[in-house]
Structures are given as structure tokens and as C-alpha cells.
Amino acid sequence: MTSITRARTRGIETLALDSPHHRNALSAALVGELADALADCGKHDGVRAVVLTHTGNTFSAGADLRDPPDPDALVALLRQLVELPKPVVARVTGHVRAGGLGLLAACDIAAASHTATFAFTEVRIGVAPAVISLPLLPRTDPRALARYYLTGERFDAAEAARIGLLTAADDDVDAVLEPVLDGLRRSAPEALAETKRLLTARVLETFDRDAAQLTALSARLFSSPRAREGMTAFLERRDPAWVL
């Protein structure tokens, strides 16, 4: 059963995370399928840009705790989004948690409706937003990240736009994206690729410098006794032992 659905309209390839019964959690299978779809888009002359969206009321709940992706595979997927020679536009109408926020940060443009909510929930299950920091830290307000990384608080689309996680937030996300997609269709493919390369250079420097360290940190934390307690508590819908 596929976790990604695809459609193309006038050069815009839409990739939808399509595992709503799992809240589009980033399983090993979903990460692999998305990577394959992006690779196909990257080499296809008929694709001018990619829209990354979702089915159901959740864009992505983050890592699938029952079938988590290998940290190296998640790093590779985030880098693939950043390096893809086509612009990638995130379209969000639902909730985004943890690793899903890394996908948003790796996209070139991101828009959400006011029904969307966001949270870095890693600390609440005993881990840290390690790998997803690779695209997040260069693109997002550091004071805001300090608050939301450390507390796991939920915030809305207007706040996500204010801190740089989103390009725009509005009641009608498709109305926001209409001129964006029109502009991409009017732009020369080679010029888009070179302009994207200019814009992502600093993000890729972060990958080159920090990816190995953050991957090791993620693997260490996810295998810790504290994380096992946090994940078990989450799956059992109870507070973990450290909650005061």
C-alpha cells in the first residue's frame, strides 16, 4: 500500500503524504517512498515545481514510533528536499508535529491555513529535535525556537509565519499559493534551479558541518531508557514518569 499519492497539473507535481490512519507519521516506508518520488520529480523535465501536501487532518505527526526511519535516511530526505533542482512548496491544512516540522523547513516556500497547528514535541517523549535542526536552525527565529524546542508548546499558523517556519498563513491556503504557483510556471527552469542554489547554500553548509553529529545524537537519544519511557507513555496515553 502506497503512502504517497501523485498528481500533475501544468508542470506542478503534487506529492501528498497519504497515510492518514497513521497521521502521516514518518515511517521507514513513507520516508523511502517520498525520497523515490522526489528523485523522479528532480529528473523529469515536465515538472517545474513540487507541492508537498497531505491527506487527512495531519500533515505529519513526526517519526513513527512503531516503525521509525533510520536517522541517516531522514537526513538524506531533508537534504534531498533542499537540494532538489525544482522548488518545493509545502501546502498545510492540518497539524504538524516534531519531524514533520523538519519537512516544512526543508521546503523553499511553505504556506498553511489557520486550521494548522505546530509543536516540537520531542522533549516530551525524552528526545531532542536533532536531525530536523539541520534545515530549521538556519531558517527560523532562534529565540522562538528556544521557546518551542524546550517547552513542546503548541503554536498556531500566524506564529509559525512570524518566526519564519512558514512563508504565509491564511484562511485559504490555496488562494495564497495561487500567485506563487503562477510565478513558478512563468519562470525558466534553469533560472529556478540556480536561484534555489543561491538560497539554500547556507542551509547546505549546516548539513555538511553538523549532519553526522546530529544523526549520532538522534540515534543515542532514541535508544535511551528515558526515550523508551517517553514513547511507551505516549502510546499508552499517559504522562511519562518525569512529569511533575
- Which residue has 528536499 as its cell numbers? 81
Instruction: Give the pLDDT of residue 25.
Output: 96
DSSP symbol at 191: H
| Alpha carbon 61 to its chain's center | 10
Cα 106 to Cα 1, 131, 244, distances in angstroms: 26, 12, 35
Question: How much is the pLDDT for 1?
Answer: 67
3-state secondary structure 213-230: HHHHHHHHHHCCHHHHHH
Phi, psi for 15 (deg, rounded to 5): -110, 120
Q: Can you give the pLDDT at residue 68?
A: 86
Going from the C-alpha of 28 to that of each of 49, 65, 239, the distances in angstroms are: 25, 10, 27
Q: What are phi and psi of 159, to 5 degrees?
A: -65, -40
Task: Please list the residues that pair with 120 across neighbouring strands.
Answer: none
Q: Rounded to whole angstroms, how far apart are CA atoms 47 and 140?
A: 28
Which of 92, 70, 89, 160 has its CA nearest to residue 120?
Answer: 160
How do the pLDDT tens digits run along the chain, 244 residues long? 679 999 999 999 999 999 999 999 999 999 999 999 999 999 999 999 999 999 999 999 999 988 888 999 999 999 999 999 999 999 999 999 999 999 999 999 999 999 999 999 999 999 999 999 999 999 999 999 999 999 999 999 999 999 999 999 999 999 999 999 999 999 999 999 999 999 999 999 999 999 999 999 999 999 999 999 999 999 999 999 999 9
User: What is the distance between the alpha carbons of residues 3 and 13, in angstroms, rounded to a whole number?
Assistant: 16
